Amino acid sequence: MAIRMIVLEPDDVLHKRAKEVAVVTSNVKKLLDDMAHTMYDAEGVGLAAPQVGILKRLIVIDADDENGLIKMINPEIIHSEGEQLGPEGCLSIPGINGDVRRAETVTVRGLNRDGEEITITGSGLLARAFQHEIDHLNGVLFTDIAEKVYEMKLDRIETEE
């Protein structure tokens, strides 16, 4: 696995619709593995292929729940319900957060890395991550739909010895 460079806003690739993956090849599997490695290295919860400069409908998510690492090809939301409003950030927009209204629970269908159809239902953070990453596949950033956007300031805490 390799760590890929994360594309930063305002790169045009982040604003384009990604293309469906027709065949799950070894290159697609390697890309999913690289994306997972890149996401963990950047301490993210999710990553979409456009964020590494590739316009394919691929996402990886690890919401630190019982699902563990999710690698999904051609994901689509087939059901959503409820509502949550909460903060989001993005590896492609460092230092910026925003309050985004999302569905509380979503059911997503797609293919796993072996090309088999899978369906996952998630709530809370997992639902938010699915919606955020699928938005990336459609060229939508959280800043496009946030009710409020704000800059994050990291306070440095120094300890005396």
Amino acid at 59: I
- Sequence-distant (6+) residues with CB within 8 A of 3 are 34, 37, 38, 41
- Two tokens, residue 70: 């999710």
* 133 has catalytic annotation: yes
Nearest-5° angle of CA 4, CA 58, CA 103?
115
**Per-residue b or e along 133-145, where b marks 16 or more CB atoms closer than 10 Å to that residue's CB:** bbbbbebbbbbee
Helix (H) or strand (E) holding 75: strand 70-81
Q: Is 37 annotated as a binding residue?
A: no
Q: Is 90 annotated as a binding residue?
A: yes
Rounded to an integer, what distance in angstroms lies between the CA atom of residue 79 and that of residue 105?
A: 8
Q: Is 15 annotated as a binding residue?
A: no
Of the listed 20, 133, 147, 158, which one is catalytic?
133
Catalogue the active-site residues: 133
Annotated binding site: 90, 132, 136
